[in-house]
Amino acid sequence: MNIYAIGDLHLSGEPPTKPMEIFGEHWLGHKEKIKENWLTTVTEEDVVLVCGDISWAMGLKNAAEDLAWLAQLPGRKLLLRGNHDYWWSSLAKMQQLYGNHFEFIQNDCIMVGNTAICGTRGWVLPSAENFTAEDEKIYKREAIRLEMSLKAALKQEPARIIVAFHYPPLFAAEEHTLFTDLLEQYHVQHCVYGHIHGENHVLTFEGEREGVNYKLVSCDTQGFGLTRIL
């Protein structure tokens, strides 16, 4: 069994109602690229963390086509909410409709063998320009949600912890945030995140710091393939 991660699928039906190539020619046919890479990489025994911005749909019913497309791909799929996932509904409703196909990371952890998978959406960081009082409120709330997830993991006495975000938990190597502090406090080994696209990925820290391995997995920065975490 392998654990993979991918973010920012940005699906919008077929034909796509929001063609992604407006953000660059490399996005042309991105859905087919993702599927091809997925089928040649992932087996039914593997696990895939999907780090948000899954569908542009504005409601759960509208996301049905995109979620059905994702469901037919192999592997156990753990979903995290992104800032554009407006279709994301109550946990009970999503589990009722899609519990046979997906697991949703929300204020808890999911065990994969002896590995705990935790996560939260994250938010804009205080280092960002024009960081507002409202941003600070959401940022602190997301940190609380992350700690809830990590505390749930500790109860399972895992061998290791992987944390998934949608937003990056840091940008500069020397940057400390509420998120990075929690990752270090709870001895997280791996952290994956998306949200950042194109040439902006060079501005995002990747690598090991204080025992945590940070990795950007937004699909366009990874050749529309999946990144193996474990």
Distance, CA of 79 to chain centre? 7
Q: Per-residue pLDDT tens for 122-141? A: 999 999 999 999 999 999 99
Domain segments of the chain as ranges: 3-228
What are the CA-CA distances from residue 165 to residues 9, 25, 27, 72 (Å)? 15, 27, 22, 24
Q: Per-residue pLDDT tens for 31-47? A: 999 999 999 999 999 99
Q: Please state, as a whole number, how many other Cβ atoms lie within 10 Å of the Cβ of residue 133.
A: 6
Distance CA 56, CA 88 (A): 11
What are the CA-CA distances from residue 43 to residues 133, 156, 220 (Å)? 45, 26, 22
DSSP 84-107: T-TT---HHHHHHHHTTTEEE-SS
Helix, strand, coil share (%) of the chain residues, nearest 5: 35, 20, 45
Q: Is 135 helix (H, G, I), strand (E, B) or coil?
A: helix
**Cα dihedral 138, 203, 11, 20 sign:** positive
Q: Which CATH number fits domain 3-228: 3.40.50.2300, 1.20.1540.10, 3.30.70.20, 3.60.21.10?
A: 3.60.21.10
Q: Per-residue pLDDT tens for 151-187? A: 999 999 999 999 999 999 999 999 999 999 999 999 9
Q: Per-residue pLDDT tens for 181-212? A: 999 999 999 999 999 987 655 678 999 999 99
Q: Is 160 helix (H, G, I), strand (E, B) or coil?
A: strand
